Amino acid sequence: MTTTAVPEFQHRTVLLDEAVDALDLAGARANGTFIDGTFGRGGHSRLILSRLGPDARLIAFDKDPQAIATAEQVADSRFTIVHDSFATMAAALADRGIGAVDGILLDLGISSPQVDDAARGFSFRNDGPLDMRMDTTRGMSAAQWLATETEQTLEKVIRDYGEERFAFQIAKAIVARRAVEPISSTRQLAGIVAGAVKTREKGKDPATRTFQAIRIFVNKELEDLEAGLNQAFDALAPGGIMAIISFHSLEDRMVKRFFASKANVAQPDRRLPIRAVDLPQPEMKLLAKIKPSDAEVEANPRARSAVMRVARRLPLPEGAQ
């Protein structure tokens, strides 16, 4: 029997050194507990482990079975991999008796192996089955969703998650095509979108925004991010650091607003008889907004849209409960 080898796809971790540097793993923090919310192919996790002390712990999460298979090859007693979304971190930490962590890193991008493997269905550049699930062991594929969803919901998802101004035309074209034949391949969907989108930004494929929208919806990426941000904040010990790398405006906007909601507080009228200790206090301090260098973007064009925001959880003011 002939066995077909699984192709190896290379992945370059975006903002590798900058993200790990942001976690501030020096001194006593080197023996703390940290979370890598998106293991991917392990670039961030491996560098974190190389800087951690012998008593440290690193808990990593990923939904992708291929990422889990890679993570299981990490032979380090300080490392634990969880096959689930980072949106389940509260339960995962509780199950392991972990009360608080010292740093959390979320890289919200999809990995190059996912994009480059046509069988995963993420890319319109190579024909493959229209799947798009991060976790291929559960949930509805993109093809199943397109076959059953209403035209109105298709339009809303493509408009809201893809920021696509031709969402109405694309949804209408999808419904018309599926009445004739199943839409089961990436090439089919890309062709439908190209026929419905009459103009597009220079250098951008007409299908870019639609594929992004469907991927985000099928994988519940924004729902996971909202839950993950709240759980990450709750898990952070005072002085703990959260670093989040986003790759499109919807994610970055959510991260920016969340950090701002924790760092900026409305102050009451100072003429009111309120003790200083009872005044609203910021819960986080914004530390940095970092983008890839020109050299990194040149070496890895997929890094060009990345933005990392970093914030530290502040300790409670003296006397506060």
**pLDDT tens per residue, range 84-112:** 999 999 999 999 999 999 999 999 988 76
Q: Global pTM? A: 0.88
The model's pLDDT over 181-200, given as tens digits with 9 standing for 90+, comes to 999 999 999 999 999 997 77
Q: What is the DSSP string of 33-62?
A: EEEES--TTSHHHHHHHHHS-TT-EEEEEE
pLDDT class for 254, splitting at 50, 70, 90? very high
What local confidence, expressed as pLDDT, does residue 265 receive?
Answer: 67
Q: How many CA atoms lie less than 13 Å away from 214 in the CB half-sphere?
A: 30
| Among the listed residues 168, 225, 175, 237, the one whose alpha carbon sits nearest the alpha carbon of residue 197 | 168
What local confidence, expressed as pLDDT, does residue 124 receive?
Answer: 81
**pLDDT above 80 (res 8):** no
Stronger pLDDT, 41 or 151, i.e. the higher one: 151
Angle CA 226–110–134, to nearest 5: 75
Q: Convert 230-241 to b/e letters by CB count within 10 Å (16 or more is b).
A: ebbbebbeeebb
**pLDDT above 70 (res 321):** no
What local confidence, expressed as pLDDT, does residue 320 receive?
Answer: 44
Mind listing the domains of the chain with CATH numbers?
16-112+221-266+273-313 (3.40.50.150), 136-218 (1.10.150.170)
Average of per-residue pLDDT across 219-245 = 97
Residue positions in the annotated binding site? 42-44, 62, 86, 107, 114
**pLDDT above 50 (res 3):** no
Residue positions in the annotated binding site for S-adenosyl-L-methionine? 42-44, 62, 86, 107, 114
Stronger pLDDT, 116 or 297, i.e. the higher one: 297
**pLDDT above 60 (res 127):** yes
The model's pLDDT over 73-85, given as tens digits with 9 standing for 90+, comes to 999 999 999 999 9
Q: Is the dihedral of CA 211, 215, 218, 223 positive or negative?
A: negative
**pLDDT above 80 (res 290):** yes
**pLDDT above 80 (res 4):** no
Q: Is the dihedral of CA 208, 209, 214, 220 positive or negative?
A: positive
**pLDDT above 60 (res 179):** yes
What local confidence, expressed as pLDDT, does residue 307 receive?
Answer: 97
